């Protein structure tokens, strides 16, 4: 694959040398285009030596080969890392003052930005508006990682690890190639907006402790990828997850069930589909201590009293029903089966109780489903269709769920 690697002028430019190595070791042909500012952090010679190709940042070098047109046209993928606030602004405005920005304007293939900057710069309304503009044009802008930044500050703004950018870039290129080979995918959610909740909620006990669960968020991320591939716009409500949220979604981060409830009800107002894949705690501590709960010698261990959390899925169904009903609500159920009934009996009862349109049923036990890459489910329909088993990787299961979502939508809520 021919890759253009644009490098912005930030300290994280040095980490991009590792990203370049990952691309070249996977036998991709990489042309590096640093901005003028980037060459102050890492010199042209480094990029030339690591890529094995000449490096320039000026449209006036190699004029005879019309580099700024050729590079953009020929690239199967353009990756920009670190994408600084300045570079995002220039790309969003369509400026063409150097070789990288002209190449971006000539891009024929997918484009991925991996931002890195100080938290205030990332969260500034101007930067967020630029990111939104780029995303609305089909450009993928990764969320920056959180952690220690260049100075004493820390927060969102770190360049995602080279392996994360590498994986996202290859997935993007693969999806673009698949779309080119099969322009009308079997499942179409074009023009539909899908909200997906994922991960596990954390219910605070005190400033350092919480009640949590083993959900990794992997199935939710796979669902988001499948929905994006089917052409939907995706809002992703991420509770605690072991992996990065997917690229190309509108991301809302939450911690507790109550925060997730608010985000889900808010997003549901203009969603065609709401998928509750998050593992929501049914209970939370009745009281949250403002200070760390201390052990006191000679005193009994504290008893933690729990109260019920609202059932978000049920509330979504109730709101949908009172607001005209043109929305598909999908629940997930984790069941073990017991003396009262097997997994399917419990799940069928849950589908009726919660009133959702589809219920994706997992059989769980220690070491099963949570954190694993493989999954096996049965998709139950509240509209009379036969239970449908689906198994394989979490991506396979997500594709099966999205197929069912698309067909139930077409049947019950065709586009007006
Ligand atoms: N769910 C929710 N709000 C809650 C609990 C769960 O919206 N407070 C959603 C989950 O996201 C999932 C579905 O409900 O889509 C099923 O969750 P599960 O925990 O399996 O079922 P419960 O409702 O907790 O029922 P039970 O405790 O009887 O298993």
Query: Could you report how far apart the first and last alpha carbons of the chain are, in Å?
Result: 41
Q: Judge if the beta carbon of residue 312 lies within 6 A of ligand 1.
A: yes
Torsion, Cα of 290, 292, 298, 304 (10° steps): 60
CA 395 to ligand 1 centroid distance, Å: 22
User: Using a 6 Å cutoff on CB, does residue 313 contact ligand 1?
Assistant: yes
Q: What is the CATH number of domain 2-181?
A: 3.40.50.1950
Give me the pLDDT at residue 250, please. Answer: 94
Q: What is the C-alpha to C-alpha distance for residues 398 and 275, in angstroms, rounded to an integer?
A: 11
List the chain domain ranges. 2-181, 193-412
Could you identify the atom of ligand 1 that is nearest to the CA of residue 310? 8
Label residue 66 left, alpha or beta by phi (over 0 means left) and psi (-120 to 50 means alpha): left
Q: Which of 17, 248, 271, 273 is nearest to 136 (CA)?
A: 248
Give the pLDDT confidence of 282-341 residue by residue, as tens digits.
999 999 999 999 999 999 999 999 999 999 999 999 999 887 778 999 999 988 878 888
| CA dist., res. 381 & res. 85, Å (int) | 46
Q: How far apart are CA 217 and CA 219, in angstroms?
A: 6
**Residue 166 pLDDT grade (very low, low, confident, very high; cuts 50, 70, 90):** very high
| Domain 193-412 superfamily per CATH | CoaB-like (3.40.50.10300)
pLDDT value for 255: 98
pLDDT band at residue 366, thresholds of 50, 70 and 90? very low
The pLDDT tens digits for 179-230 are 777 655 557 899 899 999 999 999 999 999 999 999 999 999 999 999 999 9
- pTM for this prediction: 0.60
Mean pLDDT, all residues of the chain: 91
* Whole-number percent of the chain with pLDDT over 70: 95
Ligand 1 closest atom vs CA 333: 20
List the single range of 26-30, 160-164, 286-290, 364-368 with lowest mean pLDDT.
364-368
Ligand 1: distance of its center to the CA of 311 in Å?
Answer: 7
What pLDDT is stored for residue 135 in this prediction? 85
Q: Give the Cα separation of 76 and 74 in Å (integer).
A: 6
Residue tagged active-site, from 57, 182, 213, 321 = 213
Catalytic annotation present for 213: yes
Q: Examine domains 2-181 and 193-412 and report if their fold is the same.
A: yes
Is 275's C-beta closer than 6 angstroms to any atom of ligand 1? no
Ligand 1 center to 246 CA (angstroms): 23
- Angle between helix axes 44-51 and 13-25 (nearest 10 degrees) is 10
Which residue spans within 149-259 are E strands per DSSP? Answer: 154-158, 193-198, 203-204, 210-211, 233-238, 250-253
Residue 363 structure tokens: 């059989």
386 CA → ligand 1 middle, Å? 22
* DSSP secondary structure letter of residue 66: T
Give yes or no for a cis peptide into 82 (omega within 30° of 0). yes
| pLDDT digit string, tens, across residues 89-111 | 999 999 999 999 999 999 999 99
Q: What is the pLDDT of residue 222?
A: 96
Q: Report which protein residue has its CA nearest ligand 1's atom 28.
A: 350
> For residue 145, is pLDDT > 70?
yes
203 CB near ligand 1 (under 6 Å): no
Residue 379 contacts residue 358 (beta carbons within 8 Å): yes
């Amino acid at each position: 694959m021919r890759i253009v690697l644009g490098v912005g002028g930030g300290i994280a430019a040095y980490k991009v040398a590792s990203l370049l190595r990952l691309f070249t070791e996977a036998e991709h042909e990489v042309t590096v285009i640093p901005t003028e500012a980037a060459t102050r952090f890492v010199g042209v010679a480094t990029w030339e030596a690591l890529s094995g190709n000449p490096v320039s940042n000026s449209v006036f070098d190699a004029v005879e080969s019309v580099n700024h047109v050729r590079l953009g046209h020929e690239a199967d993928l353009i990756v920009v890392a670190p994408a600084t606030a300045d570079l995002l602004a220039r790309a969003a405005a369509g400026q063409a003052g150097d070789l990288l920005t002209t190449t971006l304007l000539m891009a024929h293939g997918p484009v991925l930005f991996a931002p890195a900057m100080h938290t205030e710069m990332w969260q500034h309304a101007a930067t967020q508006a630029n990111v939104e503009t780029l995303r609305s044009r089909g450009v993928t802008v990764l969320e920056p990682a959180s952690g220690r930044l260049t100075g004493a500050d820390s927060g969102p703004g770190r360049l995602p690890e080279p392996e994360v950018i590498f994986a996202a870039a290859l997935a993007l290129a693969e999806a673009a190639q698949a779309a080119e080979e099969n322009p009308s995918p079997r499942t179409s959610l074009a023009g539909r907006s899908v909200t997906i909740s994922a991960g596990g909620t954390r219910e605070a006990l005190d400033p350092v402790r919480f009640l949590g669960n083993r959900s990794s968020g992997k199935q939710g991320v796979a669902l988001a990828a499948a929905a994006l591939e089917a052409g939907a716009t995706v809002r992703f409500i991420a509770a605690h997850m072991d992996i990065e949220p997917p690229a190309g979604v509108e991301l809302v981060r939450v911690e507790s069930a109550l925060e997730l409830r608010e985000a889900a009800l808010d997003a549901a107002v203009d969603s065609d589909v709401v998928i509750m894949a998050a593992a929501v705690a049914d209970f939370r501590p009745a009281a949250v201590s403002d200070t760390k709960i201390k052990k006191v010698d000679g005193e009994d261990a504290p008893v933690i009293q729990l109260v019920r959390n609202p059932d978000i899925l049920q509330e979504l169904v109730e709101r949908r029903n009172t607001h005209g009903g043109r929305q598909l609500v999908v629940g997930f159920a984790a069941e073990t089966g017991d003396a009262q009934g097997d997994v399917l009996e419990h799940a069928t009862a849950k589908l009726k109780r919660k009133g959702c349109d589809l219920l994706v049923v997992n059989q769980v036990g220690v070491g099963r489903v949570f954190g694993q890459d493989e999954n096996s489910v049965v998709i139950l329909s509240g509209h009379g269709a036969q239970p449908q088993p689906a198994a394989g990787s979490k991506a396979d299961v997500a594709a099966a769920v999205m197929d069912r979502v698309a067909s139930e939508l077409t049947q019950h809520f065709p586009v007006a």
